[in-house]
Structure formats: structure tokens, C-alpha cells
């Protein structure tokens, strides 16, 4: 049964979210906000409050399904209105880009509806199959033209380039999935990345994604009751990685700029794998020793609201990673093609290690966190 009665606090939240959505995104924002509010009132596909080691309220895992549905709906409306889509960039609109996106989202949706139906190894294998087929049919997306001759030569070898591209994509999807749970972290990364990709490629699909993920970001940060879920993490992770590969390969952006854009999930997944291997644990086994967990724990001890601490964590991390690329590009400090972004990425790595070291002292809150 759907809960239709809202408390006074919930009504206040909804009013603020709808006002912001209308001001920032117009009618599309209002429609998206109402759909998201409706989804959170359903009783199915609820997230375990301990799943991510951060969230402490019941929330829906169907955020990814909502983003997918709204994006396709808005694209269809534009198509019906006579908008002429181009084939600029992945998903803008390229058949195999959409195929990979839909297949990845579908796999995640199965897990959202029936949690733990598939083992982690099974999901990795299926994702590997999806990306393997994508790169077989769409080989021009494999990054073999990034500007570093040794790497370009290796990636230009058909079998080696194919394997490395598949492995990287599967790892990146898991990095994105790992970060979902801190309100605003993954949505913030996707929102800012969509704006950047639209500014450099002009593909309309990135404009649509910036609107939909922007509305989701507002809802996620303010209410904390709607997560991306695996459908969102897998689908949007696929968009980001294929979009980055294509943009780098066609010289819309430099590989250094892409590294800054996606710095947090990439750094965090590598450090998590190293940490687990050193401790003798399986690299596939989740834990709550990520930087965003540690930041949240410190903020939670100081903030009165757990949602506020959660959202502040996500926005802080997203801002320090993709936000740096967005600000630098928007302000014109560096061109998206400038190799100097590599130094910015180095600074991000250093900041990550310093922050992790400073926040690694045990606290009562972190001692109680045992699951991802």
C-alpha cells in the first residue's frame, strides 16, 4: 500500500525541492521532482539502511530506473517535436552506446528489485560480457589515441586493447557503485560531467542527462530518500566511461582532464583493492573504509542531522573531484585539452592521501560500520 500522507516536515522538504527544481530546470524539473516523490512513496525496492555504511533512513533503490525513464521520456518528447538528433558522441545517439547503457541498467535493476539475486562474480562476468560486445561492435571507442605513444601502441593491439578496455570499464562501474550511498556524490559527478560533455560535444543527450541528474541531485541531497541503486550506478557509470573514452579518443578532452573529472571513483577503487589485498581480504569483498565513509563519520559526530552529514559528505567529495574540472573549464583557467590537468590530478591524489591519513584514526562510529 502506498503512503500518501506527508508529515509537515516532508511537505516543507517537497515545497523547497519543487521550487528549486522549477527555478533551475523549469517544467522538466517539476515533472522529474513529482515522479521521484511518487517513487519514494512505494514500498518495493527499499534500500537496507546499513548497506552503504552511511545512510540511516529507509530509501528507495529505484533512482537509476527513474533517471533512465525520465531521460528516455524527455528525449522522445523532443524527437516527437521534430528535434533532429545528431550522431555526435556516444549516446548522442549511437546505437551501441545506448545498447550498453540499457543492458547495464537492466542488470542493475534486477539487483535493485531482488537484492543479492546474483553473486558479485556473476555481475562482474555479465558486465564484462556487455562491454566485450560493445567494444567488438564499436571498436573506435577503445582509447588508443590519447597522446602517449607507448600506451596508444598497446591499446592499438586489437586483443590487448579490447581486454584492457573491458577490465577498466568493469572496474569503473564498480567504483561508481561503491560510492553510491553518500548523498550527492555520484549524482554530483554525473551532473557536472554531463554539463562538461555537453559544453564540449554539443550532444543533446548530455543536456537531458544534466537536467534529470540535476533534479535527482536536489532530491537526493535534501531528502536522502532516493538512491541511484545498481541500475543507476551501472547505467550512469557506463555513460561516463564510454563518454570519456569517446571524448578522449576524438580529442574533445585530454586524458588528463578526464582523469580529473573521474578522479575520486578511480583513486578510491584502486586504493580499496590495494588495502584489501594487503590485509589479506578478497578484493571483491566490500568494506566501509572508503574516504567518503571516514568523512561522513567525522561530520556525523558534529552535525545534528544525519542527512545533512551524509549530503555534505557527497557534495564535498564530488566538488573536490569533478567539481575541480567543472570550475576550471567554466572559468577558462585551463582548456579541456590542456595536458596541465595532469598536475591537477596529481594534487588530487596527494589531497586524497593526506585526507585519508588524517581521518583514519578510529572513532566509536566507524567501529560499528561493518558492511558496504
Average pLDDT, the chain: 84
Bridge partners (DSSP) of residue 47 are: 59
Q: What is the pLDDT of residue 43?
A: 66
Q: For residues 338 and 133, give the distance between their C-alpha atoms in angstroms, rounded to a whole number.
A: 32
- The answer, yes or no, to whether residue 188 has pLDDT greater than 70, is yes
CB-hemisphere CA count at 13 Å for 22? Answer: 8
What's the average model confidence in pLDDT over 120-136?
88
Q: How far apart are CA 49 and CA 249, in angstroms?
A: 41
pLDDT tens-digit map of 31-51: 999 999 888 877 665 655 555
Please give the grid coordinates belonging to residue 143. Answer: 582509447
Separation CA 321–CA 339 (nearest Å): 17
pLDDT band of residue 369 (cuts 50, 70, 90) is very low
371 pLDDT band, cuts 50/70/90, is very low
Whether residue 57 has pLDDT greater than 80:
no
Asked whether the predicted pLDDT for residue 187 surpasses 50, the reply is yes
Sign of torsion over alpha carbons 123, 194, 179, 56: negative
pLDDT computed for residue 45 by the predictor: 58
Q: Give dist(CA 218, CA 22) in Å, integer.
A: 11
DSSP string, 217-271: HHHHHHH--B--HHHHHHHHHHHHHHHHHHHHHTTSS-HHHHHHHTHHHHHHHHH
Contact 133, 267 (CB under 8 A): no
pLDDT (mean) for 77-81: 79
Percentage of residues in the chain having pLDDT higher than 90: 41
Give, as one character, the DSSP assignment of residue 74. H
Residues facing residue 226 across a β-bridge: 60
User: What's the pLDDT score for residue 342?
Assistant: 96
What span, in angstroms and rounded, lies between the C-alpha atoms of 236 and 176? 9
Q: For the whole model, what pTM was predicted?
A: 0.88
- In the chain, which ranges are continuous DSSP H helix? 8-40, 63-80, 95-113, 120-137, 149-156, 158-179, 185-201, 204-223, 229-249, 255-261, 263-278, 291-300, 306-320, 322-331, 341-358, 364-367
Cα dihedral across residues 218, 332, 251, 258: positive or negative: negative
Which residue from 172, 216, 176, 211 is spatially nearest to 317, judged by alpha carbons? 176
**60: confidence class by pLDDT, cuts 50, 70, 90:** confident
- What integer pLDDT is reported at residue 262 of this predicted model? 95
Amino acid at each position: 500500500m502506498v503512503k500518501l500522507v506527508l508529515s509537515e516536515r516532508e511537505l516543507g522538504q517537497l515545497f523547497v525541492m519543487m521550487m528549486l527544481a522549477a527555478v533551475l530546470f523549469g517544467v522538466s524539473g517539476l515533472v522529474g521532482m513529482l515522479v521521484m516523490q511518487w517513487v519514494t512513496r512505494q514500498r518495493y525496492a527499499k534500500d537496507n539502511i546499513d548497506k552503504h555504511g552511511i545512510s540511516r533512513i529507509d530509501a528507495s533503490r529505484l533512482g537509476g530506473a527513474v533517471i533512465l525513464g525520465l531521460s528516455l521520456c524527455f528525449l522522445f518528447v523532443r524527437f516527437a517535436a521534430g528535434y533532429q538528433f545528431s550522431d555526435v558522441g556516444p549516446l548522442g545517439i549511437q546505437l551501441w552506446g545506448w545498447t550498453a547503457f540499457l543492458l547495464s541498467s537492466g542488470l542493475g535493476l534486477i539487483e535493485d528489485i531482488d537484492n543479492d539475486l546474483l553473486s558479485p562474480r556473476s555481475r562482474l562476468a555479465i558486465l564484462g560480457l556487455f562491454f566485450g560486445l560493445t567494444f567488438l561492435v564499436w571498436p573506435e571507442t577503445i582509447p588508443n589515441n590519447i597522446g602517449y605513444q607507448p600506451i596508444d601502441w598497446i591499446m592499438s593491439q586489437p586483443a590487448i586493447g579490447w581486454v584492457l578496455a573491458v577490465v577498466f570499464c568493469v572496474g569503473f562501474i564498480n567504483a561508481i557503485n561503491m560510492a553510491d550511498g553518500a548523498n550527492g556524490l555520484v549524482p554530483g559527478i554525473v551532473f557536472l560531467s554531463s554539463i562538461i560533455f555537453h559544453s564540449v560535444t554539443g550532444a543533446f543527450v548530455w543536456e537531458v542527462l544534466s537536467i534529470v541528474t540535476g533534479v535527482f541531485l536536489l532530491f537526493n541531497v535534501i531528502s536522502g530518500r532516493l538512491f541511484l541503486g545498481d541500475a543507476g550506478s551501472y547505467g550512469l557509470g557506463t555513460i561516463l566511461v564510454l563518454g570519456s573514452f569517446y571524448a578522449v579518443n576524438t580529442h574533445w578532452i585530454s586524458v588528463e582532464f578526464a582523469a580529473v573529472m573521474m578522479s575520486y571513483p578511480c583513486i578510491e577503487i584502486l586504493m580499496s583493492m590495494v588495502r584489501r589485498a594487503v590485509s589479506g581480504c578478497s578484493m571483491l569483498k566490500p568494506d566501509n573504509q572508503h574516504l567518503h565513509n571516514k568523512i561522513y563519520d567525522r561530520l556525523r559526530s558534529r552535525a545534528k542531522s544525519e542527512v545533512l552529514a551524509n549530503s555534505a559528505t557527497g557534495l564535498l567529495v564530488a566538488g573536490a573531484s569533478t567539481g575541480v574540472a567543472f570550475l576550471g573549464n567554466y572559468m577558462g583557467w585551463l582548456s579541456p585539452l590542456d595536458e596541465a590537468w595532469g598536475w591537477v590530478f596529481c594534487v588530487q591524489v596527494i589531497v586524497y592521501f593526506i585526507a585519508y591519513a588524517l581521518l583514519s584514526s578510529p572513532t566509536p562510529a566507524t567501529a560499528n560500520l561493518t558492511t558496504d
